[in-house]
Amino acid sequence: MIRALFPHPVLALGLFATSLLMSGSVEPPSIALAAVLALATPQVMRALDAQTIRIRSPKAVLSLAGLVLVDVLRSNWAVSAIILGRRKQQRRSGFIHVPLDLKDRYALAVLAVILTATPGTLWVEYDSATGRLLLHVLDLIEEDEWVHLIKTRYERRLMEIFE
């Protein structure tokens, strides 16, 4: 019964919050509109046959969010320094291959957003057959270090959350 009403609980919650923010009020009409959206839209998703997201570890979500926040701040600083012309001589950019063990599509999507949104790293191509990710790095110092960083900082936590 609950599952029939809420096939995608996370999506429903997100739509509810989005609708409230868009209306900019917590008056009864806005809440009613948000509730209608939250109940109706996930039913449309049935036609798309989308998998339901199951978050296994809310604690890992928070720790991942904190990490990403810190990393985005740090890499903003690093990329700004590069653009402003510091360390022009010895900087080298290039591609690296990262072997990923992550298989869940939502987890991969989140990883793609994290890596691309972080200045300095760019998700270029992922091969789902071999699990190999091609990544472009602006300031490439040590390839193994980057692979280690992505696998221990992001991939491990994403696996805790989704798999």
Interface with another protein (CB under 8 A): 18, 21-22, 24-25, 72-73, 76, 79-80, 82-84, 92-95, 97, 112-113, 116-125, 134, 136, 138
If the CB atoms of residues 57 and 116 are measured against another protein, the closer one turns out to be: 116
125 is written with which tokens? 């191509």
Q: How far is the CB of 131 from another protein (least distance, A)?
A: 17
Strand pairing class (132-137; 94-99) = antiparallel
Q: How far is the CB of 6 from another protein (least distance, A)?
A: 21
If the CB atoms of residues 42 and 119 are measured against another protein, the closer one turns out to be: 119
Q: Please, is 66 exposed, middle or buried when counting C-beta atoms within 10 Å of its C-beta (0-12, 13-18, 19+)?
A: exposed
If the CB atoms of residues 57 and 75 are measured against another protein, the closer one turns out to be: 75
DSSP H or E segment with residue 135: strand 132-137
For residue 56, CA distances in Å to 2, 53, 100 come to 19, 9, 20
Q: How far is the CB of 94 from another protein (least distance, A)?
A: 4
If the CB atoms of residues 52 and 116 are measured against another protein, the closer one turns out to be: 116
Q: How far is the CB of 69 from another protein (least distance, A)?
A: 9
Extended beta strands in 83-131, E state: 94-99, 121-127
